[in-house]
Amino acid sequence: MSAKNLSTVATDLIGSYGNTVLNVIHAYRAGGERVVSLLEQRWNKALKQSRTELTAETAKNASAAQAAFSAYYTKGLLLTTSGAEQVVSQLVKVAEAGVERAAANAALFEEKTGVTTLNTLAQATAPGALALSKLAAQIEQKSATLAGKIAGDHKAATKRSTAFSQRRAKAA
């Protein structure tokens, strides 16, 4: 395997790691959104239970404060995850460009000097890099599946609603 082929495997590996990190970021965002939703439900339930003990103005202020906190948290969550996605995308681009540049320089070095040590080294390390790349692709796929589950993509397909859960949802 030539240095160029090794660079292709390395570039694929970098891309796979980048996609895995993006999947983790998506899972973090989805989890944060679910937390906001659960906190809103709990807050509304608690407010509903204590409404008789509160003045109308206090209940109104409590609802407004909860809405403001949720909005700020959600906005912060979106800003930080969007920023993290941009950073990861740029790091992947820079790393891929660095691998391509190193491969091009290695080819030029071998061409100018006639020494094929780098090509020999590339051939020796290629099987390990290929195995690592396959493992990274599997991790990427698993992280995508997990991120989808956290976001709720597979929830409807795997969990059916029972009469008990429907009654519990109505009571909440």
* Helices (H), ranges, 51-116: 56-113
**In terms of Cα–Cα distance, which of 8, 19, 2, 15 is closest to 147?**
19
Report the C-alpha gap between 146 and 154 in whole angstroms: 10
Whole-prediction pTM: 0.74
Question: What's the mean pLDDT in 77-101?
Answer: 95
The pLDDT assigned to 169 comes to 63
- Please answer whether residues 143 and 28 qualify as being in contact, where contact means their C-beta atoms are separated by less than 8 angstroms: no
